Chain A
Amino acid sequence: MITIPESDLVVHELCLGSNIFGGNATEAESHLVMDTYKSHGGNFIDTADMYNQWVEGHVGGESETVIGNWMKSRNNRSRNGDRNQGIQNGSPPRIVSEEHLCRLRRIP
């Protein structure tokens, strides 16, 4: 595992690309690939809203949907419900923690 510089994201040495998930790879094939990746300790998946709008009949978002369905069915993504609480209650957004801001500002 490595930590991505300037962040506290600790990730596997391979980031799994997903531009074919829901496109050239069916949802079942994609889920199998993600299961296998996870079985090797993989934890870092890269996608984009526009994947895979180049496939005929697609509009984009297909890859994210396949990943979302997989995370939900495997229950391997915490929902962290409290993150949205402030917004749902209509209260002002949380301030980013000072520690977080310092790291982003790269202040020692």
Chain B
Amino acid sequence: MVIATKVSKMDRRPGLSAKNIFAACEESLNRLQTDYIDLYYSHADDETVSLEETLGAYAQLIAEGKVRYIAASNFTASRLRESITYSENNNIPAYIAVQDLYNLVDRKTYETDLAPTVESLGISNIPFYGIARGFLSGKYRPGVTEVDSKRAAGAREYATDKGYAVLTAMDEISAAHNGAPLSAIALAWLRSQSSVSVPIASARTVPQLEEIVQVIELTPAEVEKLNAISA
């Protein structure tokens, strides 16, 4: 197993001070019952701490073999670039990826600010909310008011005319792929985006997992269709 975990947003382990990073890392290793973390994220930026302190702490954890790679989540483009430039100038390990919200019905935030920077830095996004908290699974349709999911409230915010138009386009693509799950199509679209390496999705049940784990290859025309309808 390759394990990614994060530091800075736990209530009793807040921020990116060296002291907090070291303590949080030890606690995560203990809970995970392992000796190293493959990918360790700054879960949020912490501008109250110098880059020297934060990135120096990660460099030490990597030197000790407790962490293999570091990444950043919820950073602005400018702070991401500043952080990576600092690492390169000081010959210490740099963030190799970001984890930021990105999906077919929520493109603007990521594409406007972060995506061009991620591409120019030669790193990648491992995006979360790839199926828009369930909306892109197709469970939420016009007139459907009761869906048995605690995430229903979150998904409902995407229930707009445009959101439903995206689902309709996905239905057509699904039909051309032997009825592939819409979730799998939403994740395939993310993989077709140049700055995305691998999308994240979660499942509570085995049937949900069986949907998201399918890897669909979209044709260029299908990607273009989804690009246009979701723009």
Contacts and interface: CB of A to CB of B under 8 A. Distances in A.
Do A and B come together as binding partners? yes
A14 B9 contact: no
Contact of A106 (B59, B69, B97, B122): B122
B228 to A, nearest CB: 24
Contacts of B199: 14-15
A33 B206 contact: yes
A14 B190 CA distance: 11
A104 B87 CA distance: 9
Majority-rule SS of B interface residues:
mixed
Contact of A105 (B13, B91, B191): B91
| Number of chain A interface residues as a range | 35 or more
A37 B213 contact: yes
Interface string A70-103: 0110001101110110110000011110000100
B32 interface: yes
Contacts of B205: 29, 33
A4 B72 CA distance: 14
A17 B200 contact: yes
Contacts of B202: 16-20
Interface in B52-75: 59-60, 62-66, 68-69
Nearest to B38: A9
B201 interface: yes
B209 interface: yes
A102 B176 CA distance: 45
Nearest to A40: B213
A93 B206 CA distance: 42
A96 B204 contact: no
A50 B200 contact: no
A37 B209 contact: yes
A43 B4 CA distance: 11
Most buried by A among B88, B191, B197: B197
A47 B209 contact: no
A60 B5 CA distance: 12
Interface of A: 2, 4-7, 9-20, 24-25, 29, 32-33, 36-38, 40, 42-50, 53, 59-61, 64-65, 67-69, 71-72, 76-77, 79-81, 83-84, 86-87, 93-96, 101, 104-106
